[in-house]
Structure formats: C-alpha cells, structure tokens
Amino acid sequence: MSSTRRELANAIRALSMDAVQQANSGHPGAPMGMADIAQVLWADHMQHNPSNPDWANRDRFVLSNGHGSMLIYSLLHLTGYALPIEELKNFRQLHSKTPGHPEYGYAPGVETTTGPLGQGVSNAVGMAIAEKTLAAQFNQPNFDVVDHFTYCFLGDGCLMEGISHEVCSLAGTLGLGKLVAFWDDNGISIDGHVEGWFTDNTPARFEAYGWQVIANVDGHDSQAVADAIAAAKAETSKPTLICCKTIIGFGSPNKSGTHNCHGAPLGLEEIKAAREFLNWPHAPFDIPADIYAGWDAKVSGAEKEQAWNETFAAYQKTHPKLAAELIRRLSGDLPADFVEKADAFIQQSQDKSENVASRKASQNSIETFATLLPEVLGGSADLAGSNLTIWSGTKGISADDASGNYIYYGVREFGMSGIMNGIGLHGGFRPFGATFLMFMEYARNAVRMASLMGIPNIFVYTHDSIGQGEDGPTHQPIEQVANLRLTPNLDTWRPCDAAETAVAWKSALVRKNGPSALIFSRQGLPAQPRNAKQLSHVAKGGYVLKDCTGIPDVILIATGSEVGITVEAAEQLSVLGMAVRVVSMPSTSVFDKQDADYRESVLPKSVTKRVAVEAAHVDFWHKYVGLGGAVVGMSTFGESAPGAALLKYFGITSDAVVETVKGLN
Ligand SMILES: Cc1ncc(C[n+]2csc(CCOP(=O)(O)OP(=O)(O)O)c2C)c(N)n1
C-alpha cells in the first residue's frame, strides 16, 4: 500500500526533530509545521531532477526561513539527491553538507544561502526576474525552453524584515507570474506569540503590491494546499502569496504551537511523545522503504529533464544561434573574443588621456562592455542619472516586456542587491546594480552574502568621498570603503582615471568566483600617463605609477581621486631633492593576491618611509604604511560645502601630503 501524504510528511518531521536533537541545536518547529505543505509541493509540482541539480530549467526552491534548514535537507535526502542519511546525522557538524543554515555550494539542491531573514525572498524575486527575462529573450513560438517556477517558503520573520517590502513590491510591479510564495502563518517567532509585534494585514499588504493572494489556507490540509498551488500556477500575470495557517512543531504534543519548539531540540521525552502522536514507530534516521519509495523523484525527475532535453534539441535545430548563445550564457563563459576587445578598449582609454570623473569613465566602460555582453543586466536604485548607469543600448524590463537589459530598481538598495544575488544564482546574466557609496550600507548584508556565496555580481558605488561636496556628511562615505575591503572574497576597486576604470570593469566581468565593488568619484579626475608595462600592471591591483631613480626615499600610496594630488606632491618633493615613488593601488585585495616578488617589487620592505593618501578612513592603511608611516585621510565625518573646499578644509591636498612626508622621521 502506498504511503499517505501525512506519513510522507511525517518523515520530514522525524528527520528534523531527530537531527536537531542529535546536534543539540537547531530549529525543529518550522520544518515540522511546513512538512505537509512541502510534501504537496515537492511530490506534485516541483520540476526537478535529483540526479542533476544543475538542470537549467528546474524549478527553483528557496527556503527563506533558513533556520528551518532541516526541512530542505530532509526534502533533498528523501527525493534522492546525493545527500545520504549520514549527512543528516551530521547536521551542523564541521565539514558536513548540512550546516546550521542552508549554505550554497554544500548540499546539492540548495539554491541559495539563507538565514538572514528576508533575503531568501529577495533572492527568489531575483530568480523569478531572471526566468522571466531569459524566457523573453530566448523563447520562440513552440519552444518554451526557459519555463520554470520559483517557489519560496517564508515565515513571519521574513515578512517583518523591511527587505521583503522592497522586493515584493517590485515583484508585483514586474508581474512575476511564476513566483509563488508560501507564508508559514504560525503566529510564532522567537520571542513568542507575534500579536505584540506583528499585526499587519498581510493579505491586504500583498494585494496592495499587486499580488494574487490566497488567504486562509489550512497548511495541514493537503487538498487545500494542492488547490492553492493550482490556483497560483493558473495566474500567470501576478506573483502569488499562499497564506498557510500552520502549527509550529506540528506533532509535538506538548510544545507545538509555542516558541519552545522554535530554536531548541524538543528533548528525548518530547520526541518519544511526538513519535506516538504521529504514529511514527521507526528509530531515529530510520526511514522505511515504502516511505522512501513514496518520495523518490529520481525516475520522474529524469523523465522531466529528458522531455526538456528533447525540446531543447529541437530548438537547437530550428534556432541554432540562439541555442548556442543560451548555452554560453548559462555556462557563465564570456565570448571568446571578449578579453581581446576589452584590452583594446583599455588601451584606447589610456591613449585618449581624458580628464573625466570616474563615474563618467564607468559609463564609457559600460557602453563598451554591455554592448559586447548581452548578459549584462544593469540597474540602479533610482540614481541612474548620478551613477551614470544608462548606456545607448539600455532597455528597461517591465511586466509586459521583460526582454530588456536594465532594471529600474526604485529606491531599494538592499532589495536591489538581494535581487541581484538571485539573478546571479539563477544564471544567464551578469547583473550590476548601482547606488551612492554611502547607501551601500543599506544593502550591506546582501553584498556580504554575494561574497559568501561567491556570486560574481558587480556593485557600482559612486560619489565616493567628501569630494561629492554639497550634499554633506549624510552623503559622504568615510568608513565604507574600508568596510568593503574587509569583506572576504569581495574585490573592491577604486580607480583613479579612465584607464584604471576600464581595467576595474574588465576584472569584475572576467571574475567567476566572487563579486566586485567598483567605487567611482563624482568629481573630474586627471588622466595619468602609463607605459605598456604599467598599464598591464593595473590589473594586479597595485603598481608603480611614477618612479624615481635608485631606491626611493619615500613611497606614496594612493587610490582613486587622490592619485592626482599624490603625483603632484611627488613632483614637489622631487624638486626638493627627494627620491619619490608613487604607487597607485586601485584594489588592495587584488594586490594582496599577487606573489611575494611582485609585491616586494612595488613596496620594497626596506623602504619604511611611506604615506598613504585616500579621502576615506585612515585606519585601513596602516597595514601598508607600517608604524613608521603616515596616512593622509579622514577620521571624522565630512561637512556640507563644495567638494574642492572640503578637500582643502580636511587637508586632503598635495601640500598636506608634502608636509606629512617632511614630518616623517
Ligand atoms: C535578519 C535576521 N534577524 C534575526 C534573525 C534571528 N532569527 C532567526 S529565526 C527568528 C524568528 C523568525 O520567526 P518566524 O519567521 O516566524 O519563524 P518560526 O518561528 O515560525 O520558525 C529570528 C529573529 C535572523 N536569522 N535574521
């Protein structure tokens, strides 16, 4: 006899309570509460192939309430992914594939890292945008080669987080008809019953965003859930929120419905009682064969993928160029001639020797690179005219026509960055998104998540210092560049002119294993002369821009808008008879990755007289100038005044650099 839906769902409950008990930490409540919903979705609807987690046209599943990680681990194990029961027994242990929260790249089938509440749903919105745009660009009559749903589970916590507003609002505007979110409406968060802190009318909120809302679904009634999913899929022009009433910790007779089963093991006694309540007599981690058989999606998944493969093969025959381009884009490979063309543009930018703001130079780079790379999906958080992110080929995406290459994100920095991560994870695109450097802080955790997951997204930040001027200290970044530089796996570039800007863009685009932050000035910057060797060394993150004969008396290190004044200071010091070297250091992390010989050739240890110059927080630079060195920079907030006046007032001038050098012992 085949297992009932409830019996299948109970396998998730048992695995979750037992794994959390064994780890002595974790969250059994949400997996036990959402098990019945998950069973219907995964058994009847998910288009996936456990034997090939990378199948391009799979449905995406995002567990935005990532603390309930045992839910996804149970699902992946039971449906037949390469996640053996030993991995579930090792829940939350070092080097297991089942870390405390679902981490991208550990268990096959985990589409994104979740845990920071609200960000999972932002990734899901990004994936749904990617699907819709890729479909609009590649599908042809009779060939829906891009055609999948994005499903997202989320809890009260995700809905309380502001980012859920940013992204669900945009999802409504963009009419993401293949996005289906399931709200785990269990009335509980960590501090207890949510009535004291979360009383929104959630259905009305989502209706106001333009979503289809299916309210009052009993999340333990499989038929009701099945009907809701069918209605969600039938609505193709709006995203759907299915509001599921559930009991947290369903099955635990004494702890269900309370926050006691949220973030701690149930305890052996209570687990025993739950086994009786659920009529689950099996030992921990012992799943009967008929339950495995009921869950197994390997055969049906392989068939689904095979059917798609056949469609794709026919598409390939009828539309060979499009098919080849789709394959290239999904692989993340750049066109074969990209590097050559990019290098020609870099040389051109050098030869032109134009004095421009680096944000303008960035726009020139975008113009060239986005024309070469149709996978570039740009955007800005309502600052396109200031960030200079529009190029001649820009076409915005909309609900009715998603085939474009640019997202008007509106004033949603965090949402933009979380969406970009979802787009990047989906594949087929190279997203960039822009705002003022100052407002990176609103988006900070999504930048960290891109770095943690190794997504090669490009974060564009303009108006990078007090040099931005009149808007005043609220808009003038001080500590933000250091913050970005301290983020592991993020390459931060602060180029000093058009040639360095072109190199920064190229480096970000050829990078495959992590994101880049590109930092640009509002104000104009002088072009620096370079010979071929110097130009080729820009990509190393730091290089000798101006040298002296013999061993330098002093090394000046500068980035971005301060390179110009540093070169001027070096000239003044040379007149005074000093041997001065100027090092331009557009990317410290990239420079740090160079071999020891190269780094020594740029910053010889024997030269201890060093001054770093950057209109940002001074503290970051001590690792390069050492105890004997000094830093010309900022350690206070800025002021409101024209940029040039501020740079003078705060002592970020060539004269100040000269005086600082004279003051070194
Ligand atoms: C941004 C963020 N803030 C706080 C937390 C800590 N945290 C984890 S779960 C949780 C409560 C979530 O409540 P809910 O979504 O209702 O989950 P449930 O209790 O139903 O499992 C909190 C505050 C977090 N993971 N992320």
Q: What is the pLDDT of residues 253-273, one digit of tens each?
A: 999 999 999 889 999 999 999
Rounded CA gap, 450 and 487, in Å?
10
Which atom of ligand 1 approaches the CA of 68 most closely?
21
Q: Which two tokens stand for residue 268?
A: 């052996």
Inter-residue contact 208 to 179 (CB < 8 Å) = no
Q: What is the model's pLDDT at position 1?
A: 58
| pLDDT value at residue 262 | 87
- What integer is the mean pLDDT of 198-227? 98
Give residues with Cβ within 8 angstroms of 578, minimum separation 6: 553, 554, 661
Q: Is the pLDDT of residue 207 over 70?
A: yes
Nearest ligand 1 atom, CA 161: 1
Is the beta carbon of 491 within 6 A of some atom in ligand 1?
A: no
Ligand 1 centroid–CA 295 distance in Å is 29
Ligand 1 center to 162 CA (angstroms): 13
Strand 610-617 versus strand 376-380 pairing type: unpaired
Measured from the Cα of 154, ligand 1's closest atom is: 15
**Average pLDDT of 408-412?**
98
CB of 448 closer than 6 angstroms to any ligand 1 atom: no
Residue 333: predicted pLDDT: 97
Q: Are 60 and 126 a contacting pair, CB within 8 Å?
A: no
Q: Is the CB of 28 under 6 A from ligand 1?
A: no
Cβ–ligand 1 distance for 157 under 6 Å, the answer yes
* CB-based contacts of 220-224 (< 8 A; 24+ apart in sequence): 220/36, 220/246, 220/247, 220/250, 221/36, 222/5, 222/6, 222/36, 222/39, 222/40
For the chain, the 3-state helix, strand and coil shares in percent, each to the nearest 5, are 50, 15, 40
Interval between CA 64 and ligand 1 midpoint (Å)? 10
Give pLDDT, residue 395. 98
Helical H segments across 81-118, by residue range? 85-89
Ligand 1 pocket test, pick from 71, 103, 190, 250 with the greatest ligand atom count within 8 Å of Cβ, gives 190
User: 278: which 2 tokens?
Assistant: 């659920």
| Tokens, residue 421 | 């991560």
Ligand 1 contact via 498 beta carbon (within 6 Å): no
pLDDT reported for residue 665: 78
446 C-beta closer than 6 A to ligand 1: no
Helix, strand counts (H, E) of the chain: 27, 20
Report the C-alpha dihedral over residues 435, 438, 441, 442, rounded to 10 degrees.
-50
| Per-residue pLDDT tens digits for 347-359 | 999 999 999 999 9
Compute the average pLDDT of residues 408-418. 98
DSSP, residue by residue, 400-448: S----SEEE--S-HHHHHHHHHHHHHH-S-EEEEEEEGGGHHHHHHHHH
Catalytic positions:
413
Concatenate the DSSP letters of all residues of 275-298 into one string.
HHHHT--SPTT---HHHHHHH--H
Q: Ligand 1 center to residue 160 CA distance, Å?
A: 9
Sequence-separated (6 or more) residues with CB below 8 Å from residue 139: 145, 146, 147
pLDDT tens digits along 361-370: 999 999 999 9
> What pLDDT, on a 0 to 100 scale, did the predictor assign at position 2?
84
477-523 tens-digit pLDDT: 999 999 999 999 999 999 999 999 999 999 999 999 999 999 999 99
% of the chain exceeding 70 in pLDDT: 100
Q: Which amino acid is at 204?
A: A
Give residue-wise pLDDT tens across range 273-313: 999 999 999 999 999 999 999 999 999 999 999 999 999 99
